[in-house]
């Protein structure tokens, strides 16, 4: 337990340091790398919280694919942040401070970490999903059962959204000015 707490504190402080570093660095290539590092640290945190599904996704998308997409984008744009006048950074600081304070205030309302009397633990649906899943679907991983069977419509919608987003990107970027598919043949 103490090891868990120590790891949590360590990872969270690394997250904060990485966030500050991202805010300070002006050259965007290191920022892309640091964003990847941030995702990797979040993935470790999710792993610590036993959310392995989320950790897998975060590690692959956040640390892997997103970093590469950022770098590919810097190939198209300039890789250096424009310097902003002091007055505008002050406004940014105020907005960030206020948002942070609001979020902190909201977090006071949340149940304590690992509390036993939260709706997640006490709601009757919990029994429905975690116990009748044995008779109805009989797979050990209840997450998959909920995702693909009980919430089948929902997941179908999500997959459709993924496909639609992909089609949108391909329509915007995948066709060159001559109307030919940009990615069909290597020139």
Per CB under 8 A, residues contacting other proteins are 52-53, 56-57, 60-61, 64-65, 68-69, 72-73, 75-76, 135-141, 143-145, 147-149, 152-153, 155-156, 159-160, 162-163, 165-166, 169-170, 173-174, 176, 181-184, 186-187
Residue 41 burial (10 A CB sphere; 0-12, 13-18, 19+):
buried
The residue among 6 and 29 lying less far from other proteins, judged by its C-beta, is 29
CA distances from 38 to 11, 17, 62, 133 (A): 10, 9, 8, 36
Q: Given the complex with other proteins, which of 65 and 95 has the nearer CB atom? A: 65
- Smaller CB distance to other proteins: residue 97 or 168? 168
Q: Give the nearest distance from C-beta 105 to other proteins in angstroms.
A: 33
- Min. distance of Cβ 108 from other proteins in angstroms? 32
Measured from the CB atom, the residue of 117 and 184 that comes closer to other proteins is 184
Nearer to other proteins, 109 or 184 (CB): 184
Strand partners of residue 27 = 80
DSSP class of residue 25 equals -
Angle at 42 between CA 75 and CA 74, to 5 degrees: 5
Min separation Cβ 37 and other proteins, Å: 17
Please tell me what DSSP assigns to residue 187: -
Closest CB 93 distance from other proteins, rounded Å: 33
At its nearest, how many Å lie between other proteins and the CB of residue 102?
31
Distance CA 92, CA 90 (A): 5
Q: How many helices (H) and strands (E) does the chain have?
A: 9, 0
């Amino acid at each position: 337990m103490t090891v868990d707490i120590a790891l949590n504190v360590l990872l969270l402080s690394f997250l904060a340091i990485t966030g500050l570093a991202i805010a300070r660095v002006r050259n965007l290539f290191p920022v892309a790398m640091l964003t990847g590092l941030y995702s990797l640290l979040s993935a470790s945190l999710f792993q610590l919280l036993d959310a392995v599904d989320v950790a897998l996704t975060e590690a692959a998308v956040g640390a892997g694919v997103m970093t590469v997409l950022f770098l590919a984008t810097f190939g198209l744009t300039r890789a250096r942040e424009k310097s902003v006048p002091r007055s505008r950074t002050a406004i940014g600081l105020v907005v960030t401070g206020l948002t942070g304070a609001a979020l902190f205030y909201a977090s006071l309302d949340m149940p304590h970490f690992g509390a036993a009397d939260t709706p997640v633990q006490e709601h009757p649906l919990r029994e429905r999903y975690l116990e009748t899943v044995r008779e109805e679907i009989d797979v050990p991983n209840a997450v998959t059962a909920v995702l693909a069977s009980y919430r089948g419509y929902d997941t179908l919608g999500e997959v459709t959204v993924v496909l639609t987003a992909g089609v949108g990107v391909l329509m915007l970027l995948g066709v060159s000015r001559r109307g030919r598919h940009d990615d069909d043949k290597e020139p």
